[in-house]
Amino acid sequence: MYLFSIEGGDGSGKGLATQIVHEVLQSEFCFRSVEVTAEPRRDHALGRLAIDSVRRQTLSPEQEAGLFAADRLDHSHGWILPRLQEGRAVVSERNVHSSLVYQGIVGGIGLERTAQINSAALIPDLCIWVDCDPEIALERISKGTLRDLSSKEEYFETSELQIRIRDGYRQLLSGEMEMPTPFDMGAILGPISNEGTQNQLRNSLREAIRSFMNSRPTPINVEIEQVDQLQIRAIVRESQNQSTLPDIGIAPPKTKLGWLDGDAPWKVLKSTQESHKKSLSSMEKEHHNYPKNILNHSMSSVCGTLSLINSAEISELRSSMGPVRSVSKRHTQRIIRFLKELGWVYRRKNLVGREAPKSQLREEIFPFGRLVLAIWPLRKEISRWQSLNPGTHIRFSLGQMVKSGRHERALMETISRLSILGSGIEGRPAPENIESLVDWWLGK
């Protein structure tokens, strides 16, 4: 879902930083997988052409930029984009900012011209700038295994050029120079110094990644709703293909078509909100930090995800959330404890094996869990509508939102989700337009 690029001069430690970022993303966040790549591609004909152009030094900087851009364009749309659309993270050692520095600034063709040549390539969601003193970088290149692994001889390895490259990164990524369109859309973190220990670099990168991810940025290159729908569709398909294992204490997957249990959607939401409010009022004051709104991100994500899967321990639950509905491990544990106290979830160990306790949504909460997945694009607006219209019945919310004319995209996304999840009413097709969506909401 996100494209991360690692940038810096030769010998700055981009390879190590790429490895660390991969490890942090894979261990702490809910991507379907984390893929590592690099530019230029040494295992692809276009990438080798770009590398050879630098080694031979027979082409102009603009011609070199064209070869790097050709490799990047093919890489962007043929390899990276399909993975982002599947909810994966991609970490690229070098990307478009390398061309902006090496050909645009150092090569002298200018940022605007370099950006124009690369304008069809993907835009890194986050560029992480790793910085290192050129003398230390050159020493790394000339010693140890760095040269053997990276064939650094095709790059600029003189002290003077390394100083110019470092200064180019400083000018571009510090904001001294204006980032050209469209690459000004991405976030930049750095400089992150790599002149200390590996642990220092690891800690700096971990904090940088956490800061970016916890801000829940909107992906630049993919539609977030399409990513989540693909995740939901994959789980629904998998659950339909699972076999039942009743003899070892595992209930069959929840694939029932009538998941609304005969109630109108508005009624399911209202009754669940009332149950939540009543339970909160009876709890001790120490629980005041628990979610007050069942439509907030964490409550909706955990309940919705548990409605898709039969039962799961924390790591399985977080994996099934995917990158769009992700909740941190610590907060997921906290929400599960809260749901258990509410009586919405029960936890049990399997009769075989020594797996961690699994959480399962109680039958009476299942309609809400599946419903909140269906109306996920409308959650915030429904909450906002309720706060602005405290004296108006919630069954009127969707109709009034339709009349406002401001939520057409979210309404159509909800219709698309219902085509995956079903209408929740056995024998009734999912809504196909906004008018039938309102009828569905009202239980007509």
- Each residue's pLDDT, cut to its tens digit, for the chain (444 residues) gives 999 999 998 888 899 999 999 999 999 999 999 999 999 999 999 999 999 998 888 899 899 999 999 999 999 999 999 999 999 999 999 999 999 999 999 999 999 999 999 999 999 999 999 998 877 777 766 665 443 434 444 444 567 888 899 999 999 999 999 999 999 999 999 899 988 889 999 999 999 999 999 999 999 999 999 999 999 999 998 877 654 444 334 444 455 789 999 999 999 999 999 999 988 887 765 556 778 899 999 999 999 999 999 788 999 999 999 999 999 999 999 999 999 989 999 887 655 555 678 899 999 999 999 999 999 999 999 999 999 999 999 999 999 999 999 999 999 999 999 999 999 999 899 999 999 999 999 999
* Residue recorded with tokens 């011209």: 113
**By the 8 A CB rule, do 84 and 152 touch?**
no
3-state helix, strand and coil shares in percent for the chain, rounded to the nearest 5 = 60, 10, 35
| Neighbouring C-beta atoms of residue 286, cutoff 10 Å | 7
**Domains of the chain with CATH codes:** 3-214 (3.40.50.300), 224-442 (no CATH)
Residue 338: what pLDDT? 92
Residue 141: what pLDDT? 67
Burial of 243 (0-12, 13-18, 19+ CB in 10 A): exposed
* 398-425 burial: b if 16+ Cβ within 10 Å, else e: beebbeeeebeebbebbbebbebbbbbb
Which tokens hold the place of 356? Answer: 């961690």
How many angstroms separate the CA atoms of 264 and 299, rounded? 21
For residue 212, give Cα distances in angstroms to 17, 156, 216, 385: 16, 32, 7, 30
Of 9, 3, 46, 39, which is closest to residue 21 (Cα–Cα)? Answer: 3
Q: Which helix (H) or strand (E) holds 130?
A: strand 126-131
Q: Which helix (H) or strand (E) holds 226?
A: helix 224-241
**By the 8 A CB rule, do 407 and 222 touch?**
no
